[in-house]
Amino acid sequence: MIQAKSLQASLINKCKQNDPKAQLELYDRYCHAMYTTAFNFVKRQDVAEDMMQEAFIKAFQKINDFDGKVSFGAWLKKIVINRCLDWLKKRKLRIVSIDDEHTGITDEDDWKVENTVTVGQIHETIEQLPDKYKIALKLFLLEGYDHQEISQILHITEVSSRSQVFRGKNKLKELLKQYNYA
């Protein structure tokens, strides 16, 4: 594990010196995961590939800003997500901020999905949600971001993030029940 971190640190240092072989190796290590992240947001193969490529270009241009406080993968994933959100915004997607007055909403709700439901079916169901809930829910459930991080990414308050995730989960639960998945 320590050797792998040392190797990655060495690769990043070489990338900071514009070493194309090191850039290619980092690309090879992360391209599949970053493509998957991009595809989760844009749902188009060609656009996901473009978003991933643009994110790598930006990452290599800004590699000197990488300070190692988070893992390289986490840093790169944030760039990918931001590129995807920019693309979605250009397509006139509006992420609606909910008033801060909606307090007291928790994320804790107990419900289970049937064992026969596939991940693909859940992804398809998430895609049917209104955009304002879909993006927050994807960031929370699929990408593992917390509400503070979601609020920073979407430029909304943490309360709005909690509200959007909570409401998105409830709408998802309703749809899953309609399809007899929950």
- Domain co-membership, 21 together with 85: yes
- Domain co-membership, 80 together with 9: yes
Place of tokens 């064992």: 115
**For the chain, what's the residue count?**
182
- Domain co-membership, 85 together with 11: yes
Closest to 125 in 3D by CA, of 142, 105, 108:
142
Find the CATH number of the domain harbouring 168. 1.10.10.10
In single-letter form, the type of residue at position 36 comes to T
Place of tokens 């979407």: 154
Backbone angles phi, psi at 53, to 5 degrees: -60, -45
Domain range for 145:
119-178
Residue 99 binned pLDDT confidence (cut-offs 50, 70, 90): very low
The answer to whether 171 touches 164, Cβ cutoff 8 Å, is: no
Cα gap 19→6, rounded to integer Å? 17
Domain count, the chain: 2
Find the CATH number of the domain harbouring 26. 1.10.1740.10
pLDDT digits (tens, 9 = 90+) for 13-29: 999 999 999 999 999 99
- Domain co-membership, 13 together with 61: yes
Predicted confidence at residue 166, as pLDDT, reads 92
pLDDT digits (tens, 9 = 90+) for 20-66: 999 999 999 999 999 999 999 998 999 999 999 999 999 999 999 99
